Amino acid sequence: MTFPEQPARRGSSGRRVGLALGAGGARGLAHIGVLEGLAHERINVDAIVGTSSGALVGAIYAAGQLENFSRQMRAFQRSDVLALFDPVWPRAGLMSGSRVVERLMSTLGEWRIEDLSIPFAAVAVDLVTGDEVLIREGRVIDAVRASISIPGIFMPYVVGSQILVDGAIRNPVPVSALSELGADVRVAVNLHQSPVREIVDRNRRDPRRSVTGRVSEALEQKLALFRRRPRTASNSDSEGGGLPNLFEVLTASMSVLEYELAQHRLAREHVDVRIEPDVHGIRAFEFHKAAAAIEAGRAAVRGAGEAIRRAQRLPQWLRRQAAAWPARE
């Protein structure tokens, strides 16, 4: 499927379609499939706002690089995921994020948000004030880096007096920001239709096979230097007591938070069309499962095209009233 380098700015009806791409780590690769599916349905996307991995995929689409990125991610292997991690313990995060940025530079380069073909924004949170920050200008790579800064895992992104982290801790599906981008029809892509189990049952866990287990092992090796004693299987087991590793604890905590926030915010914000890929079987750092996530996104779009076109035909007041009507059995 071919995507234009300069996506169209307006839908044929004149009512602009805006996508809010939600957070979810590797589950966010489903956004690729959603965008591919919308292209197949001949739906023009006129504005995108994203949180975390939603910001990443949205930025790549707005830069006209989705087809290239999709091809790269479908070929991603477990070893490629591990190569992205750069432990910096002890710091403000377990990973510096520099390898992720280096990888993305080949796709996003020096693009600036102001130069993208459609309005785009990334959502982050300033830890100093606690405020939600909508990034609408500057280098695309910087906006994405700020928005994907999972607290505790990636070091925060510092801009002046702001200490920016993953926007999912306040707004995991940023529908509320679409009006600021001039969108008339609000489409929410929610990756938290159902809770995700980030932690595998302890009786079935094999830390040597999981991505988080391998990364946690590397961190433990670094930490051993500060303890001034080597890490061995015996002292690791006795200290951990069979508990999940630190990455699993952090990602599981974020997943619980994102799920609850998404349910709460989507229940009180106006959404014209909701798209919810079934990605509950993909954990936060399982980027090697890109093909499954992308296909889940494409499957979730089926039927959404007509719903979006219907929303484009209705005036806003009628769309809001229709959304409030109870569904018929």
Kindly list the catalytic residues. Answer: 52, 166
Percent of the chain that is helix, strand, coil (3-state, to 5): 45, 15, 40
Distance CA 261, CA 141 (A): 26
The three-class DSSP label of residue 310 is helix
215 and 247 Cβ atoms separated by less than 8 Å: yes
Nearest to 284 by CA among 180, 172, 181: 172
Distance, CA of 130 to chain centre: 20
Where are the alpha helices (H) located in 210-278, listed in sequence order? 211-227, 233-240, 246-268
**Which residues in 1-131 belong to E strands, given as ranges?**
17-21, 47-51, 93-95, 120-126
Cβ within 8 Å of residue 307, ≥6 positions away:
272, 273
Question: Residue 188's CB: how many other CB atoms inside 10 A?
Answer: 24
Backbone angles phi, psi at 166, to 5 degrees: -50, 125
